[in-house]
């Protein structure tokens, strides 16, 4: 019961800028004391912030989540996103795959094709290296332990000298105002270079990451030709991002 109640609270906060204890009591059909205990728990976890007049979601991401942490979240949504993303790829294409659990799912869905794949992700490179018809290029450089991917100047240089058909960029935070952001300057710059010369620039990001932000800017959402997310975005969020130059696909 407590997990369901926490989910109800988080869903309400996702769809509203701020909530009072009284509002959450009605939403969860619980007592004020129970709701306050839940809010204390969520506050200790860093999930919410106390604000004047109520509580709101803490949308700031200070650190890079680990691959293990991300692999257990939004699995169904990521699979749908990956399925649609894979449909954009044709045999013979050259593509860039950013590091991430969603892009790893894309890799699994295109492994039957004859492709040239450039990636920063160790898991993706090892997976696709099993398929003889795929030419795999790793960007190289220092290994980031949280994402288990390559970062640094070596990878940036390579990415600036390739001209892929499609670049699939993942993220932990995206927002119409701040764009795509990353917790470190080095990670942000590398992500910016991932799609620099691509004919088609595709952001793959599930709805749970929308409205969140980190310290360093990667790019504006309008830098992408396509954004693929899931139908978990609220009506307010959809309206914020639908009237722009990129092609928004919700699966």
Tens-place pLDDT, residues 14-56:
777 788 999 999 999 999 999 999 988 888 877 787 877 788 8
Please give, one letter per residue, the 3-state secondary structure of 24-87.
Answer: HHHHHCCCHHHHHHHHHHHHHCCCEEEECCEEEECCECCCCCCHHHHHCCCHHHHHHHHHHHHH
Give the pLDDT score at 59: 81
Query: 179-210, pLDDT tens digit by residue?
Result: 999 999 999 999 999 999 999 999 999 998 99
Task: For the chain, give the mean pLDDT.
Answer: 91
Tell which residue, 198, 212, 4, 246, has the closest CA to residue 94.
198
Q: What domains can be seen in the chain, in order of their start residue? A: 2-57 (1.10.10.10), 67-250 (3.40.50.1360)
Q: pLDDT tens digits, residue range 107-118? A: 999 999 999 999
Residue 233 in tokens: 């975005």
First to last CA, the chain: 29
The per-residue pLDDT for 68 is 64
| Residue where the block lists tokens 């892929």 | 164
Q: Is the pLDDT of residue 91 over 90?
A: yes
Cβ atoms of 119 and 96 closer than 8 Å: yes
Instruction: Report helix angle 32-44 to 2-15, nearest 10.
Output: 80
User: Residue 218: which residues within 8 A CB-CB, separation 6 or more?
Assistant: 169, 171, 179, 180, 181, 182, 188, 191, 192
Q: How far is residue 102's CA from residue 142's CA, in Å, rounded to a whole number?
A: 22
Judged on CB neighbours under 10 Å (0-12, 13-18, 19+), 96 is buried
Tell me what pLDDT residue 4 has.
83
Please report where in the chains the tokens 């004020």 appear, as a residue: 32
Q: What pLDDT shows up at residue 235?
A: 87
Calpha distance 191→201 (Å, rounded): 12
Q: Which of 56-70, 151-165, 178-192, 197-211 has the lowest mean pLDDT?
A: 56-70
Give the three-class secondary structure for 200.
strand
Least confident range from 33-37, 82-86, 96-100: namely: 33-37
Residue of 4 and 35 predicted with greater confidence: 35
The arithmetic mean of pLDDT across residues 68-80, rounded, is 83
- Write the DSSP string, 129-193: TT-TTEEEEE--SEEETTTTEEESHHHHHHHTT---SEEEEE-S-EETTTEEEESSHHHHHHHHH
The SS3 of residue 239 is helix
């Amino acid at each position: 019961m407590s997990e369901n109640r926490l989910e109800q609270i988080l869903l309400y906060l996702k769809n509203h800028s701020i909530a009072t204890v009284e509002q959450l009591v009605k939403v969860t059909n619980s007592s004020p004391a129970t709701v306050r205990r839940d809010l204390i728990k969520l506050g200790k976890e860093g999930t919410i912030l106390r604000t004047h007049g109520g509580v709101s979601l803490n949308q700031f991401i200070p650190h890079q989540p680990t691959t293990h942490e991300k692999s257990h979240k939004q699995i169904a949504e990521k699979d749908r996103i990956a399925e649609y993303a894979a449909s954009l790829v044709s045999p013979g294409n050259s593509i860039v795959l950013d590091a991430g659990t969603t892009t790893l799912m894309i890799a699994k869905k295109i492994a039957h094709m004859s492709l040239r794949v450039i990636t920063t992700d160790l898991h993706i490179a090892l997976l696709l290296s099993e398929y003889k018809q795929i030419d795999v290029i790793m960007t190289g450089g220092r290994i980031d332990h949280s994402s288990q991917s390559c970062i640094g100047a070596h990878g940036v240089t390579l990415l600036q000298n390739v001209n892929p058909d499609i670049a699939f960029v993942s993220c932990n935070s995206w927002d119409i105002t701040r764009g795509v952001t990353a917790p470190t300057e080095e990670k942000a710059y590398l992500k910016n270079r991932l799609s620099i010369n691509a004919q088609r620039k595709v952001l793959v990001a599930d709805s749970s990451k929308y409205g969140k932000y980190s310290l360093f800017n990667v790019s504006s959402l309008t830098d992408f030709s396509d954004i693929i997310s899931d139908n978990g975005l609220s009506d307010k969020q959809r309206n914020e991002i639908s009237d722009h130059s990129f092609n928004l696909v919700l699966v």
